[in-house]
């Protein structure tokens, strides 16, 4: 009887889902936090009977709708009265339209509108679907519970943990300081690894891949429309890379609960109000940062994120709300690997056992430098140290910021005495003016040590910093 054992049914469904995904450690964690009892449902046949799924079980398995794939090429904003985006393929054919149901690829009729409303009410991820027999609402309800329990475990370590206020309140908004209009502002400590990574891709788009007809003189002072476009393109690239350049999933905060949390899930009004759509802009005052992380994990898939890690139980958000290296690597290179050296490394752990440490597989668009390398705690490989563009996320004293140059020649010139510009941006520092680094500048000691791990003693441009 469903009425007398909702919690046990939900627990059984979550365990079944985790079992089919091969997530044994997650099951063990769940068993520890929510031990099985005599009332637990451990028989699949019994579970099918409770959920009235026997007729469907005999047919071909029916899967819930998947979000439509996003193939980015040149996404662009649409008129202001439509909160949406459009993406085209290389031939200019429209592949993806906005979150607005009127822009779905499938023809919109009164029938499909009714079906979409019904799907959202049942808790499905919206999107065009083939005609299928009706499946009991309970199935979709528990699919959501299982998915978000998994999300919380991989992000926070437990489905009972909650996102800090610093994460919930952080969006992607730009500085209005005249010399820093390119900069994303961080409100509080914690999500800096995400913000710095996105900042790096925004700068790549702004400096090297887009043109601003209204401002060709100084690309570091973009118009509102240009910097918004660069943010959208940066997010598309990050998610597309996380999806192995095959698909992308975007999580959106709807403000409406799509399921009622039960069992071992602590509600905080965030994930239960999230669903996935085609694409959107994350330029919001709140939740944008968290939504990007969820989108990147879903685009990569929770299973692959765990496979990327040296230790599958590692979380993406660590102690005190800090971003782990796995999360930064997911955003920078599309894989949540635990290390920053090139490729994988095998270590002899004794008794004929080999421990595989996973590193960065390919040359990255945006680089990474770490103060830990100066102290010989880690070694940053060339895939991150010499990226395709002269932009680096810098890890110094548990904080992430951005270092960048304006000339790509910086990456290939190693002549002694070579002069070049380097700029530094820290979204958390309440920075009020442009910081241009040079030999005449007294660099912040930890930052200088990070820079020297990449640039040695090459000469910075001898102009005064502002």
Query: 192 catalytic, yes or no?
Result: yes
To 5 degrees, how large is the angle CA 243–CA 245–CA 247?
A: 55
Residues 6+ apart with CB under 8 A from 54: 48
Cβ neighbours, 10 Å, residue 432? 10
To 5 degrees, how large is the angle CA 183–CA 293–CA 336?
A: 105
3-class SS string, 31-45 = HHHCCCCCCCCCCHH
DSSP bridge partners of 435: 424
Q: What is the Cα–Cα distance from 89 to 73, expressed in whole angstroms?
A: 6
Q: What is the Cα–Cα distance from 278 to 58, expressed in whole angstroms?
A: 33
| DSSP three-state, residue 123 | coil
> What does each of the 466 residues of the chain score in pLDDT, given as a tens digit?
444 466 777 788 888 888 888 888 888 888 887 788 878 888 888 877 777 776 766 654 444 333 333 333 333 433 333 333 333 333 333 333 333 323 222 333 444 444 444 333 333 333 332 333 343 344 444 666 778 888 999 999 998 888 999 999 999 999 999 899 999 999 999 999 999 999 999 999 999 998 766 665 688 999 999 999 999 999 999 999 999 988 888 888 777 766 666 566 676 767 767 665 434 455 556 788 999 999 999 999 999 999 999 999 999 999 889 999 999 999 999 999 999 999 999 988 888 888 999 999 999 999 999 999 988 889 999 999 999 999 999 998 889 999 999 888 777 655 555 667 789 999 998 788 888 886 545 555 778 788 888 866 444 443 333 3
pLDDT computed for residue 284 by the predictor: 59
pTM: predicted TM-score of the whole model, two decimal places: 0.68
Q: What is the Cα–Cα distance from 15 to 5, expressed in whole angstroms?
A: 15
Q: What is the Cα–Cα distance from 403 to 385, expressed in whole angstroms?
A: 12
Question: For the chain, how long is the longest CA-to-CA vector?
Answer: 79
pLDDT computed for residue 392 by the predictor: 96
Q: What are 35-44's contacts with CB under 8 Å, separation 24+?
A: 37/8, 39/5, 39/8, 40/8, 40/11, 40/12, 41/5, 41/8, 41/9, 41/11, 41/12, 42/12, 44/16
Closest CA to 225 of 82, 103, 78: 78
Q: What is the Cα–Cα distance from 247 to 409, expressed in whole angstroms?
A: 33
pLDDT computed for residue 123 by the predictor: 32
Query: 364 catalytic, yes or no?
Result: no
pLDDT computed for residue 87 by the predictor: 34
What are the helix and strand counts (H, E) for the chain?
Answer: 15, 12
Q: What is the Cα–Cα distance from 228 to 287, expressed in whole angstroms?
A: 17
Q: How far, rounded to the nearest angstrom, does the alpha carbon of residue 116 sit from its chain's CA centroid?
A: 27
pLDDT computed for residue 369 by the predictor: 95
DSSP string, 366-428: SEEEEHHHHTTS----HHHHS-SSSEEEEEETTEEEEEE-S-GGGGT---TT----EEEE-TT
Looking up tokens 């070049």, which residue turns up? 420
Q: What is the Cα–Cα distance from 179 to 221, expressed in whole angstroms?
A: 6
Catalytic choice (247, 258, 383, 399): 399
Closest CA to 177 of 401, 367, 429, 439: 429
Catalytic choice (192, 280, 323, 364): 192
Q: How far, rounded to the nearest angstrom, does the alpha carbon of residue 250 sit from its chain's CA centroid?
A: 9
| 45 touches 61 (CB < 8 A) | no
């Amino acid at each position: 009887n469903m009425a007398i054992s909702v919690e046990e049914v939900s627990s059984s469904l979550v365990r079944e889902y985790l079992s089919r995904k091969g997530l044994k450690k997650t099951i063990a964690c769940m068993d520890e936090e929510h031990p099985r009892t005599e009332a637990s449902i451990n028989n699949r046949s019994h579970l099918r009977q409770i959920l009235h799924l026997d007729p469907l079980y005999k047919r071909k398995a029916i899967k819930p709708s998947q979000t439509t794939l996003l193939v980015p090429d040149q996404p662009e904003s649409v008129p202001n009265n439509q909160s949406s985006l459009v993406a085209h393929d290389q031939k200019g054919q429209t592949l993806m339209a906005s979150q607005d149901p009127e822009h779905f690829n499938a023809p919109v009729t009164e029938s499909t509108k009714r079906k979409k409303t019904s799907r959202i009410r049942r808790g499905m991820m919206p999107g065009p679907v083939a005609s299928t027999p009706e499946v009991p609402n309970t199935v979709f309800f528990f699919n959501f519970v299982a998915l978000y329990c998994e999300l919380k475990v991989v992000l926070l370590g437990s489905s009972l943990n909650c996102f800090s206020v610093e994460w919930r309140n952080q969006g992607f908004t730009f500085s209005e300081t005249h010399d820093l209009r390119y900069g994303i502002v961080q409100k509080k400590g914690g999500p800096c690894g995400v913000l710095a990574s996105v900042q790096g891709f925004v700068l790549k788009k702004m400096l090297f891949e887009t043109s601003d007809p209204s401002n060709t003189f100084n690309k570091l002072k973009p118009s509102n429309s240009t910097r918004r476009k660069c943010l959208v393109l940066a997010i598309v690239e990050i998610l597309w890379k996380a999806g192995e350049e095959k698909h992308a999933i975007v999580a959106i905060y709807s403000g409406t609960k799509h399921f009622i949390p039960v069992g071992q899930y602590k509600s905080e009004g965030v994930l239960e109000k999230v669903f996935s759509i085609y694409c959107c802009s994350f330029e919001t005052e709140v939740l944008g940062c968290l939504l990007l992380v969820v989108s990147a994990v879903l685009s990569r898939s929770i299973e692959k994120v765990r496979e990327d890690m040296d230790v599958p139980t590692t979380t993406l958000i660590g102690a005190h709300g800090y971003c782990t290296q796995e999360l930064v690597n997911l955003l920078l290179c599309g894989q949540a690997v635990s290390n920053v050296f090139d490729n994988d490394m095998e270590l002899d752990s004794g008794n004929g056992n080999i421990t595989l440490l996973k590193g960065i597989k390919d040359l990255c668009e945006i680089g990474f430098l770490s103060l830990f390398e100066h102290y010989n705690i880690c070694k940053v490989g060339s895939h991150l140290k010499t990226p395709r563009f002269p932009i680096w996320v810098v890890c110094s004293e548990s904080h992430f910021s951005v270092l960048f140059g304006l000339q790509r020649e910086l990456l290939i010139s190693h002549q002694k005495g070579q002069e070049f510009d380097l700029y530094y941006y820290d979204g958390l520092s309440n920075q009020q003016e442009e910081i241009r680094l040079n030999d005449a500048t007294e660099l912040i000691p930890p930052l200088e040590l990070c820079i020297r791990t990449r640039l040695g003693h090459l000469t910075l441009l001898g102009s005064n910093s502002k």
